[in-house]
Amino acid sequence: MEFYADGNKRQKLITHIVGVRNNAALFTKDICCESWGALLGDWHDLGKFMEAFQKYMLEDEARIEHAIVGGRYATDQFNDPLRKLALQFTISCHHTGLQNSETLRKRLVNAAQLVCDAIKNVPDDLLDRKLPEWPAWLIPPSTTAEEKEIDVWKRCLEFWIRMLHSCLVDADWLDAEKRDPDAPKRPEFLSIEKLRDKLDGYIDAKVSDATKHNWTPVNAQRKNVLDACRESAKTKTGYFSLTVPTGGGKTLSGMSFALNHAVENKMKRVIVVIPYTSIIEQNASVYAEVLGQENIIEHHSNIDPEKDTVRNHLAAENWDAPIIVTTNVQFFESLYANKNSRLRKLHNISRSVIFLDEVQSLPPVLLYPILDAIRELRDHYGCSIVLSTATQPALKKRKSFDCGFDAVKEIIPDAMKLSKDLARVNIEWETMNAIEYRDISERILKENIQRVLVVTYKRKDARALAGLLPDDTYHLSASMCPSHRKDTLNKVKEELMKNKSSTVRLVSTQLIEAGVDIDFPVVFRALAGLDSISQTAGRCNREGKNVNGGRLIVFRAPTEPPVGVLRLGKAITESILNSSASEFDGVLRDKDGFLDLTSPAIYDTYFRLLYSGVQLDGAGVQNARTNFDFPEVAKRFCMIDSATYPVVVPYKNGYDILDGVHVKFKPSRDDFRSLQPFIVQIYFHELEVLNNIGALGSIHEKSFYYLTTPYERLYDDRFGLVISEENLFPDYSKLNV
């Protein structure tokens, strides 16, 4: 009987097995276990040698499972229970995604007859394989080792199984593509060396031009940052810290370090990991301008459909590209996922420079598993890690923080001097008594502050203050959909670039803080964590045009930040503000006795206090990992608040796209992605309110909600989605024909 890999008889089974073996061996070679990949490829489809499976596939007879056969055959063939575990999970789950131990055990127990039906048809040379040895760094500890040491090893094994699984899944899917004559061709890219040369040539020309025509003190400091990045790039792989104040030019200098370091150490790619999609769009456009859009692969939920070309889509599937720009959510949730579509790319993270931008934004409640994953990538998968921020968190290992990193190399020789040299803001602390938002608005108008940014805690606060100011005051918050926020920011930037006499006032929540390239001479910031205050300072006198410094007024607001890390951060700032000079290191205060936000030491103190007040594995991810419960790990490791619900709002052509998705019997992922720019996330209590009055419709099993016609008015052109008692009435005129 002839055995085929697919129901269309486009590929013989043995041809597919050889192709997957070659791919998997190549991929696992990068993680120093080539023989494991070869074995996985050889045995992953042993079940397709069952005559019953061929009939199911070719003649549409009763479904029969095939992936479990290779896992059960490995179970029967080898004695070492721990090494068998890796084969059982990886082979058996290469179609289902990684399962938990109990589910896998039940499948293996029930597969004995399937193995008998298959192996009688398998070529003898395919069955005659030896169990590979452990990688040197993964040899199990002795049975007398302490429980803590054994748990650490279990998590290393768990992570390695993820990597093996990724190698097999990608190898399988890539070979399967060959069967489809209509499958698009995988994209090709410039080499890391050519991209490095292209970037450095661009930067050198830019520096030369600035030297001749517009050399400023800020430009001089940016050149110092660039030189330090290039010099540090010559070192071996490891942990690196890039501490550069906002406006210090770290976007291009950091990429210069990454590409030069990758070339120096023969690494495969650069992965830039950014917390917010707004920063991704900004940074990716900078990289694309220099290196070409075709060489920059963006992978995040809010990618512009025009940028999500076939080329980008294919490369995003498995990250087989030299430069990837992605989000914290996509990167870290993929590391701890159990679904094949997300796990597929993991093996291509090996031998990469991983540039973690705005690293202070990593969620403290998931910090332990995040740092554990970073350590695995650095220690066992050939990666270099760059921790980049203006406010470096306290991630170095210490007695009270044993999950931290050893031997972190600072790229900037004197980060404190750089911070002081780039200081462009004078901070005024008005935190003794609460100041009402009405008083803030009256002060802005009375002092005739024409260009001002005010940052509040919550959406409600921002809306209230903006409502107290003239109607031409801009408002920015998560009550607005991404497309609306983007348009508003573009208008603000355009206004700021006009003559200095134009009035530009903006009231925003903290979403303005990280990475948004905007420059106001005066900024008000509600008292918050030091990291948030410093990020807000980065929006004040950003380009240093005011030689006397911009004004940042930190005030005590009449409201409180949301419960959790944000409120804890504010409390820690207050404790430092109210402490005596002797309680903390003297470098934390300037000559006048105020907090010196140009001192990196102050952030070390702040983050130490912050991390000591939070459970760093609040979801219990690490425990689920030691139990090899892959679905539970994926469930627990969630970086986005799952207690929110997406509502499509009537902004621009959002409802036209909604109508197109609504009428489809089975919308694609790309269909749903096309709605992302027009979505506002709401909380459960808001969902209940809107549901109770009939303001919400839903599509496709409540994948998305939308405002019904009489309630479209709830979405305001200035404030976005407004849900308040005085606003919850229908507009039936919308129903008139």
Domain that holds residue 62: 13-177
Residues 406 and 285 in one domain: yes
pLDDT in the model for residue 590: 63
Question: Where a domain ends, among 533, 564, 597?
Answer: 597
Residues 229 and 303 in one domain: yes
E strand or H helix at 197: helix 192-213
Residues 463 and 547 in one domain: yes
Structure tokens that stand for 496 in this block: 């700021």
Residues 462 and 557 in one domain: yes
pTM given for the model:
0.91
Half-sphere exposure of 18 (CA within 13 A, CB side): 8
Question: Where a domain ends, among 571, 597, 623?
Answer: 597
Does some domain include residue 612? Answer: no
Residues 117 and 49 in one domain: yes
Does some domain include residue 604? Answer: no
Does some domain include residue 432? Answer: yes
Question: Where a domain ends, among 538, 573, 597?
Answer: 597
In SS3 terms, 513-573 reads as CCCCCCCECEEEEECCCHHHHHHHHCCECCCCCCCCCEEEEEEECCCCCCCCHHHHHHHHH
Residues 356 and 395 in one domain: yes
Q: What is the CATH number of the domain that holds 443?
A: 3.40.50.300
Structure tokens that stand for 667 in this block: 């919308």
Residues 171 and 260 in one domain: no
Residues 100 and 155 in one domain: yes
Residues 324 and 468 in one domain: no
pLDDT in the model for residue 477: 94
> Residues 218, 310: contact at Cβ < 8 Å?
no
Residues 428 and 410 in one domain: no
Does some domain include residue 71? Answer: yes
Structure tokens that stand for 710 in this block: 């009489």
> Within 322-458, where are the H helices?
328-335, 340-343, 367-380, 415-421, 437-446
pLDDT in the model for residue 418: 82
Residues 261 and 210 in one domain: yes
> Within 214-355, where are the H helices?
217-232, 250-264, 277-291, 310-318, 328-335, 340-343
Residues 356 and 230 in one domain: yes
Does some domain include residue 313? Answer: yes
pLDDT in the model for residue 445: 96
Does some domain include residue 5? Answer: no
Q: Report, as ranges of residue numbers, the positions in the chain whose pLDDT lies below 70.
A: 278, 301-308, 514-515, 580-593, 641-642, 702, 734-737
pLDDT in the model for residue 581: 57
pLDDT in the model for residue 70: 97
**Number of domains comprising the chain:** 4
Q: What is the CATH number of the domain that holds 141?
A: 1.10.3210
Does some domain include residue 627? Answer: no
